[in-house]
Amino acid sequence: MTAVLLLVVYALAVAVLAPPLLARHWPSDRAPRLTVTLLQILTCSFLLATVGAGLALAFTLVEGLSELSPALDSCADQLPVTDHGSLGTALGHLGWISAVLLSARLLYCLTATFGTAHRRRREHSQMLRMLAKRDDDLGVLVLDHPSPACYCLPDDVVITTGALERLSAKQLEAVLLHERAHMSGRHHLIIALATAIRRTMPHIKLLAYAERETRRLVELIADDAAVARTGAPTVAAALAVIGTAHAEDAPPEYNPVPETALAIDSSPTLRRIRRLLRLDQTLTRRTHALVIAATTAATVLPVALLAVSGATLFRPCPPDLDSGWSPAVVMSVAADGS
């Protein structure tokens, strides 16, 4: 039962504390890549801990499962709620049913999210083959549309004639670098994973927060890739040109960017421009070390917790003074097979 408590406390702590702590105290805008990694660790470990807690409950309180290990069975028999009582058995069955349902739901959401995104991208690519023209010099598909927009599919960058007319050569280079950073970083897969995990348990704030932040942060990662080659003022100017073209309230007919594409203006543009023009966007050495240490701790903690929970589940119990049971007796009984 210690394993169940450890896993439940971890899952609750991560789900409740992580979003406000990260929002208030974590320098996500200055370390977007590390933050995306951290969010993936937190969300995956939350799901693992939740499924693990259900399985641990089942192994402790379902009679057939607890008897797989003599030590586990004897420990379970010392609990106030045991696998011999109706309440204990009900809790045990609730544990494995929850674990199986959650795993099945996760599998379904992964399949549905990745499958739908893949199908929509394929349909959009087929449409582009008819509507867009390839520009071999730029290595992009050009769509005849008055709104200045640029977005990428996994294998292609698409830009509108409106964007080509408005962007200077340097700004165009920045825009294309941004989109190619999305492609090389496989950001569409990172977003699809965050979306599938959020859909698995849509009411958990941590998962919604992680998806929202992942969508925003991959834009910052792509901005930084463009800044490294063209400089922050150029990227900010390109964002101003592209981003003002179709604000969030623009009617859909003015927006040529499909829902599944990663567009250069798909996150609040003004905040990104402000970030690019701030002089203090790089982390100090001390903050960088702290961010890496915290991310490492967030990786090690759930792995250690799962290992400790597993070890706790099957460890020999202390002697039960009321019944006269001791680990030596259990070992002897197990060896005799009686």
Applying CB under 5 A, the residues found at the interface with Zn ion are 219, 222, 262, 264
Least distance from C-beta 157 to Zn ion, angstroms?
Answer: 11
Task: Match 């809790």 to its residue by tokens.
Answer: 91
Least distance from C-beta 224 to Zn ion, angstroms?
Answer: 11
Task: Give whichever of 155 and 322 is closer to Zn ion, judged by the CB atom.
Answer: 155
Task: Give whichever of 55 and 181 is closer to Zn ion, judged by the CB atom.
Answer: 181
Task: Match 């970083």 to its residue by tokens.
Answer: 185
Task: Give whichever of 188 and 330 is closer to Zn ion, judged by the CB atom.
Answer: 188
Least distance from C-beta 295 to Zn ion, angstroms?
Answer: 23
Q: Closest by alpha carbon to 181, among 149, 217, 225?
A: 225
Q: What are phi and psi of 143, to 5 degrees?
A: -105, 130
Task: Give whichever of 30 and 182 is closer to Zn ion, judged by the CB atom.
Answer: 182
What span, in angstroms and rounded, lies between the C-alpha atoms of 68 and 82? Answer: 15
Q: Find out whether 44 and 51 touch, Cβ atoms under 8 Å.
A: no
Task: Give whichever of 189 and 307 is closer to Zn ion, judged by the CB atom.
Answer: 189
Determine which helix (DSSP H) or strand (DSSP E) holds 160, and give its type and residue range. Answer: strand 156-160
Find the radius of gyration of the CA atoms of the chain. Answer: 26
How, if at all, do strands 156-160 and 140-143 pair?
parallel
Beta-bridge mates of residue 140: 135
Q: Closest by alpha carbon to 308, among 3, 47, 61?
A: 3
Least distance from C-beta 223 to Zn ion, angstroms?
Answer: 8
Structure tokens at 66: 């607890």
Structure tokens at 16: 């409740």
Least distance from C-beta 198 to Zn ion, angstroms?
Answer: 20
Least distance from C-beta 59 to Zn ion, angstroms?
Answer: 46
Task: Give whichever of 194 and 222 is closer to Zn ion, judged by the CB atom.
Answer: 222
